[in-house]
């Protein structure tokens, strides 16, 4: 489905509270996203909290679309688990060497030149400003 809008990333902050996970992310001059994640050890399981909010029109991000703790290994094993996260994951895979099974091995994983493909987003997502948080925990 051709969308009348595109997704632009204007600001990006990445950090890790785990000393064994080093994260570096940058927005390139053309607006695409590059991310490097260096895992200094193997992880049998990884969880992350995904939060997505829409701008209600007043510049306040009050409309909660998603607020869930996601089990990464279930994304790999169960194609129907967390459909919105699955869509994002499948968009990222062609631009990355991200893992596709658990345990997640010690390695440097990268995403290069990633842009969100609006044609793959569910039709329920309107043309609005969005605020997203992804907090990773082992």
45-76: pLDDT as tens digits: 988 888 888 888 888 888 888 899 999 999 99
Contact 119, 84 (CB under 8 A): no
What is the mean pLDDT of each successive set of 10 residues along the chain, which is 138 residues long?
A: 65 81 87 90 90 84 87 93 90 94 96 85 71 75
Cβ atoms of residues 44 and 102 within 8 Å = yes
120 phi/psi in degrees, rounded to 5: -95, -5
Classify burial at 66, counting beta carbons within 10 Å of its beta carbon; exposed 0-12, middle 13-18, buried 19 or more: middle
Q: Is 76 left (phi over 0), alpha (psi -120 to 50) or beta?
A: alpha
Contact 21, 138 (CB under 8 A): yes
* pTM summary value: 0.78
* Sequence-distant (≥ 6) Cβ neighbours of residue 29 within 8 angstroms: none
- Asked whether the beta carbons of 114 and 91 are under 8 A apart, the reply is yes
- DSSP H/E element including 88: helix 83-92
């Amino acid at each position: 489905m051709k969308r009348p809008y595109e997704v632009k990333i204007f600001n990006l902050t990445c950090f890790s509270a785990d000393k064994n996970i080093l994260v570096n992310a940058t927005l390139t001059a053309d607006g695409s996203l590059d991310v490097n994640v260096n895992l200094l050890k193997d992880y049998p399981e990884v969880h992350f909290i995904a939060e997505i909010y829409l701008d209600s029109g007043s510049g306040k991000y009050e409309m909660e679309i998603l607020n869930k703790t996601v089990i990464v290994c279930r994304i790999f094993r169960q194609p129907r688990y967390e459909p919105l996260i699955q869509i994002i994951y499948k968009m990222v895979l062609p631009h990355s060497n991200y893992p596709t099974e658990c345990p997640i091995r010690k390695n440097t994983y990268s995403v290069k030149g990633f842009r969100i493909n609006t044609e793959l987003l569910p039709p329920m997502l309107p043309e609005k400003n969005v605020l997203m948080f992804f907090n990773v925990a082992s």
